Amino acid sequence: MSKNSNMKFLYAGIAIALLLSILAPFLASSDPDGLESAAGGVIEESKMSELEETEPAVSSPMPDYAIEGMGKSGEVMAIAIGTVAVLAISFGFGKIFNKKA
């Protein structure tokens, strides 16, 4: 692959990732995910609610994939910010650990 086609592939991947981050809040199910439903079958309801009320060891900057008080647009922004952050971190690591001179 040439460098030009690699860049086109990269930009297409970034565009697809951002499109998915925009659509995700509207397509996601409000039902509990597999881990929550499996835990619900193993752990008693009282113990489960007790676990949900405990404070996390490290607080999340955007809990539940949302920005508080913004509704669906806050969810879109939180996921888009997270997507861009992961892409930027990955790009940075790629530059740092690039073995070519």
Positive or negative, the CA dihedral 37, 43, 44, 50 is negative
- Residue 1 is predicted with a pLDDT of 65
Give domain limits for the chain. Answer: 3-98
The yes-or-no verdict on residue 92 having pLDDT over 80 is yes
34 vs 17, 50, 53, 63, CA distance in Å?
Answer: 23, 20, 20, 19
Q: Write down the pTM of the prediction.
A: 0.67
The yes-or-no verdict on residue 49 having pLDDT over 60 is yes
Nearest to 77 by CA among 95, 85, 14: 85
